[in-house]
Amino acid sequence: MEIENTNNSQRIDELTNKVEELEEDAEEIQQKSFLEKFRNFAVTLMLLMISIGQWNDTKDVILSAYEEIVSRWTNTLEYDKLSQLRVGYSSEYVESLLGLPQVTKHSKLSANTMFSYYGTSKYILTTAVTNNRLSGFSVIALKNDFYAPIVYLDKKLNKNQLDSYLPSQDLFMTDFGNVEYFIENYELSRNLMFYEFSLGIINYGLLPDDLRNEIQVLNRQLENGKDLLLSDLTVQDKIFPNYYSVSELSNDIMMESILSRYEMAALFKNE
């Protein structure tokens, strides 16, 4: 009986420590008093359920509920997950980290590449897997206050004007058809494996009308054959990027993965 009580005590300490770690990581929590009440409730519930031998189920339920509350009031858990992604991971490891995607589709430009989409109310994550290997990924923030970490650069989305992130390489892509976007393309340095990198803005409903109109005018100029350099433009001064991608693949392939407004509405309207 004494051994059983000791094991229960160790289990309580284990989960209590986990809850305290989550609290320390939740930098943006606005409802601390509520979360403290939840923690007290969780510990009480643990003691009750341990006493009737339901430890494993109780632990999973409490952690899941707590993570849901933290996610509701902060972005800490999402930032942590996105910051762990790296080009080169095996598809099995990516799945263990992210779970199963809601949507998949084959690339038309790369026969062995599959795009997988993970949609939430805060962001869309797209992975490109080639021959069971993560060959690229992209993140689109769906809220202006979602400051997703930009892996490899130690920077964040939605934080600064586009032209302040990286020195221009005078390569950009823009569209005003299936979805509006303005995206700059870069090749990263040797220290970053010469990966292809893109950074810009994609409009799934957050683009201001004046910026949307400016992108439309820019597209018409390009369609009419006007040669434009980034140094000729001012649109990048107004953009706070909500999108980035990093990949071993060409930027054209990663751009192919971008969902149209119709696809977004059809596939993720309930997210």
In tens, the pLDDT along 187-203 reads 888 777 789 999 999 99
Any idea what the CATH number is for the domain that residue 88 is in? 3.30.1450.10
What's the pLDDT at 197? Answer: 95
Mean pLDDT of 138-144: 97
| Domain-ending residue, one of 32, 49, 74 | 74
- For residues 30 and 160, membership in a common domain is answered with no
Take residue 248 and report the two structure tokens written for it: 């071993």
- For residues 142 and 243, membership in a common domain is answered with yes
- For residues 12 and 107, membership in a common domain is answered with no
- For residues 106 and 171, membership in a common domain is answered with yes
Going by C-beta distance under 8 Å and a sequence separation of 6 or more, which residues neighbour residue 87?
Answer: 134, 135, 136, 137, 193, 195, 246, 247, 248
What's the pLDDT at 74? Answer: 80
Judge whether residue 224 has pLDDT over 70. Answer: yes
- For residues 29 and 128, membership in a common domain is answered with no
Q: Mean pLDDT check: name the lowest of 10-24, 116-130, 161-175, 212-226.
A: 10-24
For 8-51, what is each residue's pLDDT tens digit? 556 655 555 555 555 555 555 544 555 566 666 666 656 555 55
Mean pLDDT of 154-178: 91
What's the pLDDT at 37? Answer: 61
Tell me the pTM. Answer: 0.75
- The residue length of the chain stands at 271
Cα–Cα distance, 46 to 16 (Å, whole number): 10
- For residues 63 and 184, membership in a common domain is answered with no
Percent of residues, the chain, with pLDDT higher than 90:
56
What crossing angle do the helices spanning 55-73 and 32-51 adopt, rounded to 10°?
170
What's the pLDDT at 3? Answer: 47
Beta strand segments in 17-167, E? 103-106, 113-119, 123-130, 134-141, 149-150, 155-156
For 45-86, what is each residue's pLDDT tens digit? 565 555 555 555 555 555 555 555 555 668 988 999 999 999
| Domain-ending residue, one of 34, 57, 74 | 74
Confidence of residue 271 (pLDDT cuts 50, 70, 90): low
- For residues 52 and 92, membership in a common domain is answered with no
Cα–Cα distance, 261 to 215 (Å, whole number): 16
What's the pLDDT at 193? Answer: 79
- For 176-202, give the DSSP string: ESSSEEEEEEEE--GGGTT-EEEEEEE
What's the pLDDT at 232? Answer: 82
- For residues 81 and 70, membership in a common domain is answered with no
**132: three-class secondary structure by DSSP:** coil
What's the pLDDT at 61? Answer: 56
- For residues 61 and 92, membership in a common domain is answered with no
Q: Side by side, which strands form the sheet with 196-202?
A: 103-106, 113-119, 123-130, 134-141, 243-247, 196-202, 180-187, 172-176
| Domain-ending residue, one of 13, 43, 74 | 74
- For residues 90 and 212, membership in a common domain is answered with yes
* CA distances in angstroms from 1 to 55, 128, 207, listed in the order given: 17, 53, 64
Q: What is the CA radius of gyration of the chain?
A: 22
Domain count, the chain: 2
Structural domain of residue 205, as residue ranges?
Answer: 77-268
Mean pLDDT of 238-265: 95
Take residue 76 and report the two structure tokens written for it: 């800490």
Take residue 188 and report the two structure tokens written for it: 């990263």
Mean pLDDT of 110-117: 96
Q: Is the dihedral of CA 206, 208, 214, 216 positive or negative?
A: positive
- What residue type is assigned to position 59 of the chain? K
Please tell me which of 46-55, 108-117, 167-176 the model is most confident about, judged by mean pLDDT.
108-117
3-state SS, 2-21, equals: HHHHHHHHHHHHHHHHHHHH
What crossing angle do the helices spanning 76-83 and 55-73 adopt, rounded to 10°?
100
Mean pLDDT of 102-131: 96
Cα–Cα distance, 30 to 91 (Å, whole number): 36
